[in-house]
Structure 1
């Protein structure tokens, strides 16, 4: 199945542009992707399988015309919210899924995950070893991006996002308001009126156009849903200005449909496939979603796509309770406050909901619903899949070139050992031209190594995770991967492939040394220092999500790109000397010839 057909729902969809800030999708042209509800079935009929909400569904005014006690044409009581059957089906799949599968299902169904890339380039950039070209050098023994300075306690960085044009001088003429950029100063010329001299030149240079397009493309890849009033509103005019060019490039290179309307832009990403380590998190706390949280999210969306603009919270919660897929699916109690709070927080972050109260027990609180954005969230209708696994698989289907380019654009590194044979052959035939096209499109740098390719973002803007990062877990993870590489890195000439086994005892020992050495001096969190198990879990989780370590039934494996964060290789390393480290059992350490001063012989 082609990704274009999946994202638009093939023949099950109809498009339309918004006629206002809320609602209105599917009413004249083809700028929005909305699945049309199937014809109404009689009272008492079961749910219609598949589909997402359409604009032709009856609203509250129609429901109010039904005499009290009688069912509406769709089998609903007067005033009852009309749930979308396709999203209800998705909620059932979430409720039945294991935690990892639920993450993959969310990425496939919504496609709202950000890109993820390594930051600092290796020194020298694209370097060589012994006269070999960059793509002949292994990550294990090639140039590194290691920073020898120990981590220091510092304030957490702001939420990941593009820093607009301040890193690109060519984009400086882009001013979105009538005020010049920068603070007033003694040497700054007086402000001119808006009508005197246009702030944005009419004859835009090719360099400025290219810079604007790159900024817009990076913004969409980092944030697939951009609104005119959201946190990335400054970039929305650039997306609208270059929407035709962006739509063509995204479709050609990645097979991603781009929909740009008057109030929002939506890049419909494909699902990354099973085991992609992409999860939804609470926008404020970073807490990961559980299957229960995903279930509440899908249930809420199923009801909001046709909800009135002003919706009492109590009415939404009652409708979610009535739409419960059933106890046989293991959904549990829909009144779980943590899962419900997670779902509503994400919907507010996506701007589907506004005026969400802090106290979710206040049933009289009134929510503001943006139906247009609610309909833009699903990337593809579940009706085209048989079950959750089928949806995850279909969402990731693509021809070999598109599949490899998606991996390059979305993931930190692409290792040839991870690719199926057809994709491996494509990357071998397009080893330079394939990454170069994406690097030019997104402003990235290609790092070619014997094990694969990585597209780097030195600005650390086009990524949701970063090494090195702020916080105790991130600092511990960076030190941990550095020392693990030094312990288990293969010698040149050894045939090990892209992964090397790492014993659990070694992880525990190295992490213990790191915590003792850096914990208190660097101001690490006391709860982590008291609970080394939690520190181990979160540090390994970060390394796993960055693709530097992976797990198999046999245990943890260190991946070749991890070596880019370690010092240059020492071909004759000394055994570990930390008090938590294991010593080589075959190594005999001779006694000192002369006793240390002050110690008995």
Structure 2
């Protein structure tokens, strides 16, 4: 199978490692890794893990004088600076591939109706539950459940790793695994490791998901083969980190990067500072004064002026990825950064050295045969809708409507929801997603109320030809949000800034719905411009009333005119 090559100004290194050290995928030269540059003469010896600390800082200042940027990453920094916000998000996904998977969580209500590929989301079984004042326990930090398990420990030592129970988070293991406890535990470990990598593509032995790293190391050969076969992703496993190189989501499939502390979205300038800093850190000494890094950034790209907030966001992201041990709270030039060059070289995943421009890089990174492209959408996005696929991808999904998703449900422990408009893979545990809807916060509650009412107002009636998307009048959005805020805001203790600023509430609620794939912007040139409600949104609304009474609202459907001497259509149907 053809597999996307990734390079940044690169040299190939045999053995599947990111920088030539031992402990990679161990599949020989066929799984060679990519190194941004060779290890410097002053770097650590092969196979040795560098020790952080000021004890190794001798000569660091002198080494810093020789800082030079990686040409591919420097080129990338300029592309980021010139990009629009949406394109910059796509470019980040294509070049770094560090975005998490995103899935719907709640299953459709059992017994609510037929659940097959001929049923539309508009009128099929729903996952609706009243959103108002719904109180649930706070969820732990999002991520795949960790498993502490010694190699010789009994199966009971691995919680939630064995065969699942019906309706629970784990799918039941197949008969072959159930027949052998050792096979069952191995299959559970592989699933936990695969979910962890899909949720967190860079896992380190000392990071927040260190508990799962031994499982990745233990099953690295199997995981490498499955990620390659199913998704076309390259997995590199070294002694201290594991890197799943995702391939981007193509134009319009943006997964924006956010400040890990504040949640503020990255701007094109912040992305540019991130790529520029990384261009210097891949070949930097282990101890590097911040002032020297800033000076080298100015020298390498004098046209990319560093806004303090954008620089702070870039350094915070590098610290979150553990490229830097700690990001300074303020831009103090005297602060000394501790650099992990191995992780710095593991961050780039896309091919800027091969691309002509930003658009070409985004296209190249996401290019794949139809089967791989569709499975990537299923694994990474809330739903794969036929309207969003190319003709050959749509044809493949139609031919493999059941068998295509089945391979991923077994691999990742997800549940398939097949509908006329497309397929969604659900994660009832809400672990394999960076966003959750329904959610526990005020914004998530308001957003769920909004989508419920929008669906009830504009959902097509049975027999109407609606397709995947239905237009939402702007006045309807404003009116529904106003009604929701007036009705539930104060009793539910919603944030007063949202109650006072309905524009901010509208902006953030629509942003959440768009990121979950429940609404989308109308195509350019549409008059008036606005939003489209997508079919999967109906799974969060009450079940459709097949004989709805005419409403009195501005956007309600009128009662069809009655024929003189005969009862109205609805009266006839009800009779």
TM, length-normalised to structure 1: 0.80
The answer to whether residue 37 in structure 2 is matched with residue 54 in structure 1 is: yes
Give 1:206-355 correspondences, 5 Å limit: 206-324=183-301, 326-327=302-303, 331=304, 333-334=305-306, 336-355=307-326
Residues 309 and 371 of structure 1 are in contact (CA less than 8 Å); yes or no, is this contact kept in structure 2? yes
How far apart are residue 55 of structure 1 and its match?
1.9
Residues 274 and 314 of structure 2 are in contact (CA less than 8 Å); yes or no, is this contact kept in structure 1? yes
Cα distance in 1 between the residues matched to 2:377 and 2:94: 15
Residues 8 and 33 of structure 1 are in contact (CA less than 8 Å); yes or no, is this contact kept in structure 2? no
Cα distance, 1:207–1:27 mapped onto 2, change above 3 Å: closer
Query: Which of these residues, 421, 424, 428, is aligned with residue 458 of structure 1?
Result: 428
Query: Which of these residues, 528, 531, 537, is aligned with residue 556 of structure 1?
Result: 531
Residues 228 and 234 of structure 2 are in contact (CA less than 8 Å); yes or no, is this contact kept in structure 1? yes
Cα distance in 2 between the residues matched to 1:367 and 1:17: 28
How far apart are residue 475 of structure 1 and its match?
1.2
SS at match of 1:159: coil
The answer to whether residue 395 in structure 2 is matched with residue 425 in structure 1 is: yes
Structure 1 or 2, whichever has the larger Rg, is 1
The answer for the alignment partner of 2:164 in structure 1 is none
The answer to whether residue 119 in structure 2 is matched with residue 119 in structure 1 is: no
Cα distance in 1 between the residues matched to 2:225 and 2:380: 19
Residues 3 and 397 of structure 1 are in contact (CA less than 8 Å); yes or no, is this contact kept in structure 2? no
Cα distance, 1:574–1:473 mapped onto 2, change above 3 Å: farther
**Cα displacement string for residues 262-283 of structure 1 (whole angstroms, at most 9, x for unaligned residues):** 0000001111101013110111
**Cα displacement string for residues 494-521 of structure 1 (whole angstroms, at most 9, x for unaligned residues):** 1110100000000000011011111111
**Cα displacement string for residues 169-213 of structure 1 (whole angstroms, at most 9, x for unaligned residues):** x964249xxxxxxxxxxxxxxxxxxxxxxxxxxx96111111111
Cα distance, 1:412–1:12 mapped onto 2, change above 3 Å: same
How far apart are residue 363 of structure 1 and its match?
1.2
Q: Which runs of 5+ in 1 are unaligned?
A: 19-23, 37-52, 62-75, 176-202, 589-601
**Cα displacement string for residues 324-366 of structure 1 (whole angstroms, at most 9, x for unaligned residues):** 2x53xxx4x21x1110110011100000001322121x21111
The answer to whether residue 76 in structure 2 is matched with residue 90 in structure 1 is: yes
**Cα displacement string for residues 37-88 of structure 1 (whole angstroms, at most 9, x for unaligned residues):** xxxxxxxxxxxxxxxx312456599xxxxxxxxxxxxxx9982312101100
Cα distance in 2 between the residues matched to 1:404 and 1:29: 32
TM, length-normalised to structure 2: 0.83
Cα distance in 1 between the residues matched to 2:278 and 2:313: 13
SS at match of 2:288: strand
How far apart are residue 531 of structure 1 and its match?
0.6
The answer for the alignment partner of 2:545 in structure 1 is 570
Residues 447 and 513 of structure 2 are in contact (CA less than 8 Å); yes or no, is this contact kept in structure 1? yes
Residues 197 and 203 of structure 2 are in contact (CA less than 8 Å); yes or no, is this contact kept in structure 1? yes
The answer to whether residue 169 in structure 2 is matched with residue 173 in structure 1 is: no
Give 1:57-206 correspondences, 5 Å limit: 57=40, 79-124=65-110, 128-129=113-114, 134-152=116-134, 157-165=139-147, 172-174=156-158, 205-206=182-183
Cα distance, 1:443–1:99 mapped onto 2, change above 3 Å: same
The answer to whether residue 364 in structure 2 is matched with residue 394 in structure 1 is: yes
Residues 123 and 462 of structure 2 are in contact (CA less than 8 Å); yes or no, is this contact kept in structure 1? yes
The answer for the alignment partner of 1:591 in structure 2 is none
**Cα displacement string for residues 466-500 of structure 1 (whole angstroms, at most 9, x for unaligned residues):** 10113222111111000000000001111110100
Give 1:468-507 correspondences, 5 Å limit: 468-507=438-477
The answer for the alignment partner of 1:410 in structure 2 is 380
Cα distance, 1:277–1:399 mapped onto 2, change above 3 Å: same
SS at match of 2:3: helix
Cα distance in 2 between the residues matched to 1:154 and 1:128: 27
Residues 121 and 539 of structure 2 are in contact (CA less than 8 Å); yes or no, is this contact kept in structure 1? yes
Cα distance, 1:15–1:60 mapped onto 2, change above 3 Å: closer
Cα distance, 1:253–1:108 mapped onto 2, change above 3 Å: same
How far apart are residue 148 of structure 1 and its match?
1.9
Residues 7 and 352 of structure 2 are in contact (CA less than 8 Å); yes or no, is this contact kept in structure 1? no
The answer for the alignment partner of 1:582 in structure 2 is 554
**Cα displacement string for residues 392-422 of structure 1 (whole angstroms, at most 9, x for unaligned residues):** 0000011110110111000101111211111
Residues 447 and 509 of structure 2 are in contact (CA less than 8 Å); yes or no, is this contact kept in structure 1? yes
Cα distance in 2 between the residues matched to 1:100 and 1:583: 32
SS at match of 2:493: coil
Cα distance, 1:165–1:569 mapped onto 2, change above 3 Å: farther
Cα distance in 2 between the residues matched to 1:457 and 1:16: 34
Q: Which runs of 5+ in 2 are unaligned?
A: 26-30, 45-61, 149-153, 160-179, 561-575
